[in-house]
């Protein structure tokens, strides 16, 4: 079955490779403006929008005509602390505020995943959404350390303004849950869901 990843994230592509899945990248142009305050619901809704948008594009091009089965994987990740959802920072000052709020505390990372599975031959698609949550513990960060980290540019395209796999490593003192979920895809859950659905 042809597998598509509806994401431009190099981290998600790397995780797909780690679980042995060769996916074609198809970036979604879906509207990501969602009025939802619950982080678990938010990431599931956004992952579904991304996956369905790419599936619609595939069907309009070849899917419905060729009848070839496929699976689109959409994902979205946010950080949550004190009931606030932290997406990607809009600027360096926003990144500083986010990192200051995370310093010395435990926060949650939610990643939602949606699978759109088309059996082909004009049959209806199955749409399956789920999410994973990981608790991440940060050590105390000084303002100088935060500014130095922001100066690397690493925080600017990441939910919560940090990348656990890169220059934020010195500040992550522990976690409970899937490490890869914090990177952007819950590797274990995704692998087993793909097996359960007969995609791999």
Task: Read off the pLDDT of residues 78-124 as tens digits, 9 standing for 90 and up.
Answer: 999 998 999 899 999 999 999 999 999 999 999 999 999 998 766 78
Residue 65: per-residue pLDDT: 52
The Cα 183–Cα 165 span in angstroms is 7
Backbone angles phi, psi at 109, to 5 degrees: -115, 125
Domains of the chain, residue spans: 2-196
Average pLDDT over residues 137-141: 98
pLDDT > 90: percent of the chain: 86
**Which pLDDT does position 96 carry in this prediction?**
98
Residue 157 appears among annotated catalytic residues: no
What is the CATH number that goes with domain 2-196?
3.90.950.10
128 membership: H or E segment, kind and range: strand 126-138
pLDDT of residue 67: 72
From the centroid of its chain, how far is CA 192? 17
pTM (predicted TM-score): 0.93
Express each pLDDT in 19-46 by its tens digit: 999 999 999 988 888 889 999 999 999 9
Q: What's the pLDDT tens digit per position in 43-58?
A: 999 999 999 999 999 8
Report the pLDDT value the prediction gives residue 33, as an integer from 0 to 100.
83
Q: In this structure, what DSSP letter does residue 90 have?
A: S
Catalytic residue among 76, 94, 124, 135: 76
pLDDT at 30: 87
């Amino acid at each position: 079955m042809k597998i598509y990843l509806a994401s431009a994230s190099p981290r998600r592509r790397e995780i797909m490779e780690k679980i042995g899945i060769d996916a074609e990248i198809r970036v979604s142009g879906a509207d990501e403006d969602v009025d939802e305050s619950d982080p678990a619901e938010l990431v599931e809704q956004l992952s579904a929008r991304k996956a369905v948008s790419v599936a619609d594009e595939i069907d309009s091009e070849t899917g419905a005509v060729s009848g070839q089965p496929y699976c689109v994987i959409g994902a979205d990740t946010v950080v949550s602390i004190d009931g606030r959802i932290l997406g990607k920072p809009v600027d360096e000052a926003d990144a500083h505020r986010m990192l200051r709020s995370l310093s010395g505390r435990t926060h949650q990372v939610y990643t939602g995943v949606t699978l759109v599975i088309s059996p082909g031959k004009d049959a209806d698609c199955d749409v399956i959404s789920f999410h994973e949550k990981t608790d991440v513990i940060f050590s105390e960060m000084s303002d100088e350390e935060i500014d130095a980290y922001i100066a690397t540019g690493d925080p600017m395209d990441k939910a919560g303004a940090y990348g656990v796999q890169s220059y934020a490593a010195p500040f992550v003192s522990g976690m409970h849950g899937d490490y890869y979920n914090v990177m952007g895809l819950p590797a274990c859950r995704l692998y087993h869901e793909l097996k359960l659905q007969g995609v791999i």
